[in-house]
Structure 1
Amino acid sequence: MEQFQPRQSQPTSAKSATQQQSCTPIVAIDLSALFYSLLFPSTQLSGTANELEKNVFRRVEAALASPKAIAERVLKLPTQIAALDQQLADENTDTKALLLLIERDPVLSVEVLKLCNSPLFRRSDKEVTSLQQALVQLGREQMRRFVTTAMMRKVIDIQPIYFRRFGSQVWRHSMQVAYLSSELTQEDPDTAFLLGLLHDVGKIAIFKLLLEAFKQAEPGEQPCSSLFRQVMTAKSLSLSALLARYWELPSLFEAELSRLAVVDSKPAGGLAEVVWRANLISECSMLFEAGKLQPGQLDRLLFDAAIDRETFEQLHQKLVLF
């Protein structure tokens, strides 16, 4: 935060400018509302929840009371993800056996190779054409992240064409947060990556509940209340934490996601703070790209994220590649 500390002395003109700025009221930035507009761009917000939204609220409360049902029926984690991640993390696991395990799932293999050859992660001009080559070129740690990412992509898949934009935007945001989380910490970048990737699974679960509720809704009904936005923002992180517990992920995941679920409060230290900052930077980047942030708003949010404008612009150039 050193770059944000005030200087000890200023010229008179600079002081008067500062005094003028201090008299200007700071307008609160509702970042969740701005980001919601990216997920549902055609929706005009209203203050009152409609029957569709009330139906979703009831389903969300039921899901929070019984995460087992939502984990088994709505958002099922691939059974091999935890075991495969553990084996990739273990340096003693035989490489050949590891590659055979991945190759059992042809779709997983293809998705991993796509990530290896994507503009953001490609290491050379030569295309990676096999998992063996990918493991040699990228190393076990990067391979672990790619396999986890490819498996989570199946969980977040959104089928209905009308809402495919929602799924693609949330997935893009999740990947950005995972990448940023691993970049912002030296403590445990691999765990930070997976935590960033998982932080929005509750939002996907709520959205899938919304799709189910549509079957009983009146024609033309849409999620359009500010209350629904608040539920998507606040309840989703609590649901993410509960899902991590039911999926039997290491207890650290539920603990850090629970810390993130405390609304309007920045976590102090640990991986929760890392993911909190990564989430803020990603939302700023996506909104900035869409032309939905004014320069003053962006500077204010970057201050909260504890990065300067130059650092943000460098990160932004990478994030737009997702």
Structure 2
Amino acid sequence: MHLSVEERRRAISRWLRTGFLPVARLAGGLELKFNPYHDPRNGRFTFATGIGAGIEEHYGGQGPRLGRGGNSRAFEDPMTVEQAFPELHGPLWNGIQALAQSTLDIFGPAAEAQINILDNRSKEVLKEIKKLDPNFVYQQIYSPQPSVEASAARLDDLMMWRAATYLRKTGNIEPLKTAMMVRMQREIDQAKREGDKLQKAGELKSHGVNDQMRLGNYVDRRVRGNIRGALNWYGIKAAARGRVRINRRLYIDGQGRSYGIPDVMVDDLIIEGSLQRKTMSAAQLRRFAKGLPKPRHIAVMTPSEAGSAHTYVYKIP
């Protein structure tokens, strides 16, 4: 197949933007399709999932993307939070974010099931903390009227205490990753609601060339400040060169001049808050992926009101 210089330029441009090659056609109008399905054990072509023998792969709705060098997996479709952090299974994760859904009836039958899930999980987390630290005493104020809000806040609090206890007793930082995902989502949702109210009242005092930028700057500042305060409350140390970092420089490939500044970094997990969806084609995320220490996951968190795919995770090879 022969392509003109302009056609080749457009094809390469699309591949760089999306990871997909355009469908090629012969002079007679017949399509030439690339078969992305192959057996990784021997390289032989096979059929798409569910259409015949072969290795079953799940790539979402568009099939696998073409690789671009050693960092190709960073450009694939992102994972859900549940896939990256199995502890945050569907009902639990939904309950944590329930307040972001303004239509939720937090006192109705639908909420009762979520309250039970959240409260049962809180009991499990508390038992786990006491097993690590028998002297731990949890002080809480129970609301006379059970609600998703109170149950979600209690579980959020206990997950942070569990993370702090694991760090102090064993040095294990993994519980802090899941706890920070939960805390970041709640903080982003709350800051977005507060920012919207201030903006509508004409009281949003934040820098930016337009309303969206001013709102984004307000949310970023509010979330980072609240996260710093929370870490101090739970006795978790954040430092520029530590395992936990808040708005600190992440140097690229160890170089002293080139760097990115993730919102939150917990060991090899980066959590980046945003009002809009970001993909690995964004220069900011690509810069993070090259940082040292090298991240394993980059989670992009947007307000829950954005829909079911508001928060997603990229796995960095």
TM superposition score normalised by structure 1: 0.29
Greater strand proportion: 2
- Larger relative contact order, structure 1 or 2 (CA cutoff 8 Å, min sep 6): 1
Quick check: which has more Rg, 1 or 2? Answer: 2
TM superposition score normalised by structure 2: 0.30
